[in-house]
Amino acid sequence: MPHVKKVEDLRSRRWFGPADLRSFGHRSRAMQMGYAPEEWTGKPVIAILNTWSDLQPCHAHFKQRVDDVKRGILMAGGFPVELPAISVSESFVKPTTMMYRNMLAMEAEELLRSHPVDGAVLMGGCDKTTPGLLLGATSMNIPAIYLPAGPMLRGNWQGKILGSGSDSWKYWDELRAGKITDQDWLGVEGGIARSYGTCMTMGTASTMTAIAEAVGLVLPGGSSVPAADAGHIRLASESGRRIVDMVWEDLTPQRIQTREAFENAIAVAMAMGCSTNAIIHLIAMARRANCDIGLEDFERFSRKVPVIGNVRPSGNAYLMEDFFYAGGIKALMNQIREHLHLDCLTVTGRTLGENIEGAKVFNDDVIRTTSNPIYGEGSLAVLKGNLAPDGCVIKPAAMDQRFLKHSGPAVVFDDYDAMKKAVDDENYPFTPDTVMVLRNAGPQGGPGMPEWGMLPMPKKLLKEGHRDMLRISDARMSGTSYGACVLHVAPESYIGGPLALLRTGDVVELDVDARSINMRVSEEELAKRRAEWKEPEPRYGRGYGHMFLKHIQQANEGCDFDFLKTEFGPPVGEPVI
Ligand code: FES
Ligand code: MG
C-alpha cells in the first residue's frame, strides 16, 4: 500500500517535534531513559499494549514475547514503547472478568490517546482481553494490529489428551463418582494446562482471536499458532514490523472494520462452532465501529453457515493444536469462501481473499468440508417471546436434541446458592421435564453476567440417568460448556424483564425451530405481577462497580457502557499538549 503519511504528520511529533519548552521536557525525559534523539526522531512511535501479569497464566510468555515485538518494530524503523494494561485473567479475576472487559477497553483507548504514539500492537488472548483491547483501539482509531497469545498445548494425563474446561468437569464428576482416585485427580490438575497460552478448546479465547483475524486485524493464520510454537515468536516480530508500515499507510481499525468485515467474523464464528460469548463481544465491537450488527445477523448466518471446525466442545475429538496442524484458520476460511466478503481490507494491506488464497486443509476430519459438517445449520439460535422480548440464545449444536421442542413446569431460583442447594438435594421435586430457571444473573444482577448459564444438573436426575434438561437464565455460559441452556435473556430480570415475573409451576414453552420462548401466563396475570414487582437494591454503592451498574447495557446490545458508544456525544479530540 502507498505511504500517505509524512514525518510531519506523525501524531507523536506533537510531543517531540516543536522547539518549545514542553517538547524540551518530553525529549529530555526520553533521554533520561537512555534514548538518544536519533532513536525516535522521524520514526513512528509504536505502543505495545501488553496484558501480561503474574496472575495471567494465558499470557505468561508475553513478558518475553514483547521483546520479539520490539525487535520487529526496530527492524522496520519504528520506536517501540511498552505500555502495560490490566490483564483480566479468566482464571483468577472475580466475580467475573466480564466486569472488567469495559475497564480494559477504556484503559486501551485512553493509554493510546494520552501518550505520544502513532500506532499500536495489542497483546491479548485470554477471553475478555481480545474484545477489550479491540474496543479501545477502535474508538481511538490509530493504526493497530492484534497479536493473539496463541492456544496452549494439548493437555496430557497418563497418555490421555485433556481439553481446557470440558475435561475438568468430566474428571471432577469421575472423582465424585469414585471412578478415579485423589492421586489421579492431582495428575489431571498438573496435566491439563501444560504450557503458557490460552485455553485450547474452542472456548471464548479461541473464538475471539479467530474473530479478530476474520475481521482483518491479525496477520494471516496468526490466531491459530500455538503459544509455545517458534512460529509464535516469528508472528510477534512480524506484527512489530508490519505495524510500522501501517502507520505510514494510515491503515486504521475503522478502515478495516466495515459491516462486511463483521459479517465475515460472524460467518467464521459459526463455522468454528463458536462460544456464545462471541455474540455479546461482536455486537459491542461492531457498534464501536459504527456498524449496526445485532442478534438477527447471528441468526441469519447461523442458518446458512455449517460448523466445520471439529474442535471441542462442538466437535468431539480435537483441540486447537490439531486445528493448527490441519491448516488453521486460513484453511477454514478458504473452505467457507462462498460465505465471505473476500474483498475486505486487512492489516496486511491486502484483501482477505488474497490472504487466504491457496490455504490447504491437511486433515479433513479436523477441518471439514461444508458438505460434511459437524453440524448442518443453526448451530446457534436466537429466540424471542414473552420471556425474552429482546432476545436470548441457545446452542442447538451442543444439546440433547429432544429438548428442541419442549414444554414443562418452571422451577425458579432467585440466586445461585438457593439453586445449588436444591440441585444437591435428592428429594427436591425435579422431573426430566422441569425447566430450571436462574434469574438475577444478568449484567446488573450477577453482577457482570457471570458464566453460570450451564446450571448444574440436579443429582436426582443424574442418578436416574438423565444428562440434560432445559435450563434458562440471564447469565452467560463458558465457551467450553454444553447442554440445553437458554442464555442472555434480555431484558434481564434484575431490571424487571419478564423473567422476573415467572413463578415456579408456570409452564414454559421452547420451540427452537420457531425460534420462540414463552411462558404460558396471561397478559392480565403478568400485568398484575408486574405491579407487585419491587426493584431490588443495586449490587454496588460505590467504586467501579457503581459506575458499571449505572452504565452497562443489556446483552443484546453488547454490554458496552452507554457513554462509550460512538454516538454518545461529540468525538473526543486530541489532548492539549
Ligand atoms: Fe485464559 Fe481460558 S483462562 S483463555
Ligand atoms: Mg472461558
Is pLDDT above 90 for 79?
A: yes
Q: Enumerate the CATH 3.50.30.80 domain ranges in the chain, comma separated.
A: 381-532
Nearest bound ligand to CA 204? 2
d(CA 452, CA 364): 34
∠ Cα 93 96 98 (to 5°): 110
Q: For residue 203, which atom of ligand 1 is closest to its CA?
A: 2
Q: Percent helix, strand, coil in the chain (nearest 5)?
A: 40, 15, 45
∠ Cα 163 166 171 (to 5°): 95
Nearest bound ligand to CA 281? 2
Is any ligand 1 atom within 6 A of the Cβ of residue 126?
yes
The CA 57 to ligand 1 mean position distance, Å, reads 8
Is any ligand 1 atom within 6 A of the Cβ of residue 200?
no
Is any ligand 1 atom within 6 A of the Cβ of residue 199?
yes
Is any ligand 1 atom within 6 A of the Cβ of residue 208?
no
d(CA 314, CA 375): 8
Beta-carbon contacts of 37 under 8 Å, excluding residues fewer than 6 positions away, are 27, 30, 31
Is any ligand 1 atom within 6 A of the Cβ of residue 58?
yes
The CA 299 to ligand 1 mean position distance, Å, reads 27
pLDDT bin (cut points 50, 70, 90) of residue 294 is: very high
Pick from 333, 326, 332, 323: nearest CA to 353: 333
Q: For residue 149, which atom of ligand 1 is closest to its CA?
A: 4
Give pLDDT tens digits for 187-222.
999 999 999 999 999 999 999 999 999 999 999 999
Beta-carbon contacts of 495 under 8 Å, excluding residues fewer than 6 positions away, are 442, 444, 445, 535
* Mean pLDDT over the full length of the chain: 96
In this prediction, residue 482 carries a pLDDT of 82
- Mean pLDDT throughout 93-98? 96
Region of poorest pLDDT, from 229-233, 267-271, 378-382: 378-382
Residue 467 · residue 173 · CB < 8 Å: no
d(CA 8, CA 370): 50
The CA 451 to ligand 2 mean position distance, Å, reads 8
Q: What is the DSSP string of 356-409?
A: HTT---S-TTTB--TTS-SB-S-SSEEEEETTEEEEEEE-GGGS-GGGSEEEEE
What residues pack around ion ligand 2 (CB closer than 5 A)?
127, 203-204, 478
The CA 89 to ligand 1 mean position distance, Å, reads 7
d(CA 424, CA 418): 10
Is pLDDT above 90 for 167?
A: no
* Preceding peptide of 95 cis, ω within 30°: yes
CA dihedral 498→504→506→507, nearest 10 degrees, is 100
Residue identifier of the C-alpha nearest atom 2 of ligand 1: 199
Is any ligand 1 atom within 6 A of the Cβ of residue 205?
yes
In this prediction, residue 165 carries a pLDDT of 82
Pick from 394, 380, 379: nearest CA to 489: 394
- The dotted CATH code for 381-532 is 3.50.30.80
Residue 92 · residue 55 · CB < 8 Å: yes
Give pLDDT tens digits for 111-150.
999 999 999 999 999 999 999 999 999 999 999 999 999 9
DSSP bridge pairs for 437: 412, 472
Q: For residue 164, which atom of ligand 1 is closest to its CA?
A: 2
Q: For residue 125, which atom of ligand 1 is closest to its CA?
A: 4
Helical segments of 76-201, H only = 101-114, 129-140, 166-176, 182-191
d(CA 83, CA 220): 25
Q: Which amino acid appears at position 475 of this protein?
A: A
Is any ligand 1 atom within 6 A of the Cβ of residue 198?
yes
> Largest Cα–Cα distance of the chain, in whole Å?
80
DSSP bridge pairs for 47: 81, 120
pLDDT bin (cut points 50, 70, 90) of residue 467 is: confident
Is pLDDT above 80 for 378?
A: no
pLDDT bin (cut points 50, 70, 90) of residue 81 is: very high
Is any ligand 1 atom within 6 A of the Cβ of residue 90?
yes
pLDDT bin (cut points 50, 70, 90) of residue 177 is: confident
Q: For residue 58, which atom of ligand 1 is closest to its CA?
A: 1
What share of the chain has pLDDT > 70, as a percent? Answer: 100
In this prediction, residue 481 carries a pLDDT of 81
Give pLDDT tens digits for 474-516.
999 988 788 999 999 999 999 999 999 999 999 999 999 999 9
What share of the chain has pLDDT > 90, as a percent? Answer: 92
